[in-house]
Chains A and B, each alone.
Chain A
Amino acid sequence: MSDLNQNMIEKYRNSFLKEVEANVEEGEWVKMCMQCGVCSGSCPLGKHWAHPPQEIFMMIRAGQREAVLSSDAMWMCTSCYNCIVRCPRELPITHIMHGLAHYARRLGLAPKGQPTMAFAQIFWDNMMKAGRVNELKLGLSLYYKDGFVQGIKNSLANMKLGQNMIKAKRMNAVEFFGGHGVKDVSGLQKMIRKAQELEDARIAKYGK
């Protein structure tokens, strides 16, 4: 960690809050939280979180950068939007949670092996290949993510479901061999790479 970052994480200073404002989707809202806790209480998965949203917001304002960004809390969000609906201060909490998760991953601070993050990566990689998601491959990648043996077990367990989906024309086995994509895949890839470069440059000064 650089000296710069040492300075930035001084307690109860705005540096981390400003970092969040600059880099996290809807991060500008964090300062508006009044710590009522209705989001924390409304989350259906709340009991599985180490830090509920309202606490995360207080931690951000208290400058607890490391603890926030390495937390798996925001990865638990299922986008049910209960918190957004109830927040008395209109914070788009769901978006902020996803924004924080994304930011933590970009910085490489997200907890290793976090399953939600693993799935997101598989989804992203799958999508990047053809410009749209190949559902068959996505499913298989997910089954085999923990190794070949586990993959076979997962596939067998879900075989019936797969057959039914094929029957119902909800899935096409031919997709396994390439599948269709968007018209100009390389153009799309270039666009996204450029966007990533810009984002990387922006967050570079925040380091890890």
Chain B
Amino acid sequence: MTEVVATNQTILVVGGGISGMTAALEAAETGKQVVLVEKRPYLGGRVSQLHKYFPKLCFPACGLEINQRRAKMNPNLTILTMAEVTGLSGEAGSYTATVKINPRYVNENCTACGECGKAVSAEFPNEFDYGLSKRKGAYLPNTMAHPMRYVIDPAMLGSDEAQKAKDACKYNAIDLDMQDEEISIPCGAVVWATGWKPYDAARIQPYGYDRFSNVITNVEFERMADPSGPTGGRIIRPSDGKEAKNVAFIQCAGSRDRNHLLHCSRICCMATLKQCHYVTDAYADATVSVYYIDIRAIDRFEDFYAKVKAKDNVSFIKSKVASVTQDKEANPVLHGVNTEGYHRYANTHDLVVLAVGMEPSVEAGSFPVPIVINREGFIEPASENGGVFAAGSASDALDVNRSVQHATGAALRAIQVVNRVAGTEG
């Protein structure tokens, strides 16, 4: 049974992505007891799947390393992975959360030596690469994973493969009899940082994501650009593995659209400008086309936009692409109208990247706690939420910087509640 020491002065943080980690660490480093609950087997959330950040073109793993070191060193922080909050009762200052912990089938004895992975041959789609690669049935989610511990895919359970993994472990780290458990955690305040998910591109019927292999999403492109990703960092066409030198980006794919998400997802313009660099850095003779409605390179991101705009081989076309077809060579062909002066086009590209937007991870109606959300499903900063405070992209479509900014503030709001409980609020 998992034991968690917590009281009504404990802060519960739901979600271990960049926002949840930030809120948890800021509170813990201020001396507060924090329990962090993460659904995945590791921390870092979606940013751990990004290759680079805009606008510095630096690596998310760099900040993650620092945050994970902070997490490893902090005695005030308890981390539960593969766990989900399923209920919350009580009120600000005295909540009880119900947390379901799914079995990892690997205990803390694991040294990440990798012997189980070598012993197993069963392979599964790798969710870390959005299914673009395969992983073993006994696997380390990524080389930065924290906790640095293997996971046994539940689909292997009861098979010889699972037994092979167990037999390969010299440290008694694999426990195939591990069960789900449900535990109760008292807490005074909750930081809700469940983040976002990419909009399902297959629902944008005219763009053919589900029909054309050379139409991919921006999150997949991010994995493709990563040297430790499915293509080893090569920008290629999924259909034939050829170099993708003529790349098109379709903005607002699923955002600002009544058929999909009504809101602007904020990050996609900047993500595309960043990804333009991936292409032009990879190939000297690259050509990149960005089809957009408005380029929302807000505040000092403008510098970054100006830099990309100055590249000879990147062009911007003010147009929401009407549809995508495919020619005989599996080249995607984009159809539409450049609205600046009405120019009709049918442009052939090697690869099309859909700049899909963000939607809240938790669907409206699926919150295990009563909470005020807006039309788009993002959490509102409403007083009715009591001691539950949204952090990061659970509250709006936010980039990493804004998420961290927001999560730092959310940590303070939670501290205000537990300090009231402790009677130290002055």
Contact = CB atoms under 8 A, between A and B. Distances in A.
Direct contact of A and B (CB under 8 A): yes
Given A46-B337, A55-B339, A41 B344 contact: yes
B339 A42 contact: no
Contacts of B342: 40, 51-52, 55
B284 to A, nearest CB: 31
Contacts of B256: 34, 88
Contact of B344 (A35, A47, A86): A47
Contact of A41 (B252, B258, B259, B335): B335
Given A42-B323, A52-B342, A37 B318 contact: yes
Nearest to A85: B259
A205 interface: no
B257 interface: yes
Contacts of B337: 37, 40-41, 46, 52, 54
A46 B320 contact: no
Contacts of A89: 258
A40 B345 CA distance: 11
Nearest to B342: A55
B169 to A, nearest CB: 53
Instruction: Name B's interface SS.
Output: loop
B176 interface: no
Among B318, B336, B337, B339, residue most surrounded by chain A Cβ atoms (within 10 Å): B337
Contacts of B323: 41-42
Contacts of B252: 36, 88
Interface in A20-74: 34-38, 40-42, 46-47, 51-52, 54-55
A90 interface: yes
A40 B338 CA distance: 9
B133 to A, nearest CB: 34
Nearest to B262: A88
A91 to B, nearest CB: 10
A36 B206 contact: no
B321 A41 contact: yes
Interface string A79-91: 0000001111110
A52 B336 CA distance: 11
A40 B339 contact: yes
A204 to B, nearest CB: 34
Contacts of A40: 322, 336-337, 339, 342, 344
B362 interface: no
B344 A36 contact: no
B257 A88 contact: yes
Interface in B334-367: 335-339, 342, 344
Contacts of A90: 258
B319 interface: yes
A169 B293 CA distance: 53
Interface string A163-206: 00000000000000000000000000000000000000000000
A88 B258 contact: yes
Interface string B151-188: 00000000000000000000000000000000000000
Q: 9 nearest interchain CB pairs? A: A41-B322, A41-B336, A36-B320, A88-B257, A37-B339, A40-B337, A42-B322, A38-B320, A41-B337
Interface of B: 206, 252, 256-259, 293, 318-323, 335-339, 342, 344
